[in-house]
């Protein structure tokens, strides 16, 4: 299996930790609901649609058959903590892009999650080599509290963009704010520019 080391890890040590962050040992858990329900995986479907030539709908078992990679990446939360070198395994987002063949006008993606969470990002960040849809973490099936069955991991952006419990990706012509973006968080969220909130 191909192993990718994120550019976030390769940075010079003095630049590796974004301004305003501090290192902790293991990622903290945040959710927008008090209790995350158990998912019926027999009914789970991963869907991709919008400005694409080939919309897809896949079961979890079909997802696991797609080409996969391992990824080592630092993880930066907007609440000012960071974790070094989390090990993920999953499907490179570039494989999803090849599968659906986005139309020329597709410039953004909008991510849908099973518990109601959403987030947005430019297609260029979704398409980076170190972005993936993870189903394993530290060599084990992704723990429920960290996003089972599928977590989008985008190391180049703050961790609220690395959405948990993902079921859908919409390719869009125009940007649209997701759950936290509607509540004042930055539309992009670049940790090295401290893009935490609107106006940053």
Q: Let me know: does 109 contact 125? Beta carbons within 8 Å.
A: no
pLDDT value, residue 1: 87
In the chain, where the domains are located: 44-67+90-191
Mean pLDDT rounded to a whole number for the chain: 96
SS3 166: strand
pLDDT value, residue 115: 97
Q: End-to-end CA distance of the chain, in Å?
A: 39
Statement: the pTM of the whole predicted model exceeds 0.75: yes
What DSSP element (H or E) covers 124?
A: helix 123-126
CA 62 to chain centre: 19
**What share of the chain has pLDDT > 70, as a percent?**
100
The answer on pLDDT for 42 being more than 80 is yes
CA 162 to chain centre: 3
pLDDT confidence of 11, banded at 50, 70, 90? confident
Q: Let me know: does 46 contact 58? Beta carbons within 8 Å.
A: yes
Architecture of domain 44-67+90-191 in CATH? Answer: Alpha-Beta Complex (3.90)
Q: Let me know: does 88 contact 137? Beta carbons within 8 Å.
A: yes
**What share of the chain has pLDDT > 90, as a percent?**
94
Span 147-184, pLDDT tens digits: 999 999 999 999 999 999 999 999 999 999 999 999 99
């Amino acid at each position: 299996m191909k192993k990718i080391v994120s550019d976030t890890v390769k940075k010079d040590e003095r630049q590796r930790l974004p301004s305003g962050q501090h290192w902790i040992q293991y990622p903290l858990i945040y959710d927008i609901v008090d209790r995350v329900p158990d998912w019926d995986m027999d009914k789970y479907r991963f869907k991709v649609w919008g400005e694409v030539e080939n919309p897809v709908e896949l079961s979890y078992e079909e997802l696991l058959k797609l080409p996969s990679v391992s990824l080592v990446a630092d993880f930066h939360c907007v609440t000012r903590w960071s974790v070094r070198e989390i090990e993920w395994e999953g499907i490179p987002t570039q494989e999803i892009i090849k599968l659906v063949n986005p139309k020329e006008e597709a410039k953004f993606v909008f991510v849908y999650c099973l518990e109601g969470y959403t987030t947005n990002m430019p297609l260029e960040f979704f398409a980076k080599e170190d972005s993936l849809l993870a189903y394993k973490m530290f060599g084990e099936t992704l723990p429920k509290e960290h996003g089972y069955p599928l977590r989008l991991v985008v190391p180049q952006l703050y961790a609220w963009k690395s959405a948990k419990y993902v079921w859908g990706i919409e390719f869009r012509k125009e940007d649209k704010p997701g759950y936290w973006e509607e509540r004042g968080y930055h539309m992009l969220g670049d940790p090295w520019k401290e893009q935490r909130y609107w106006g940053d």
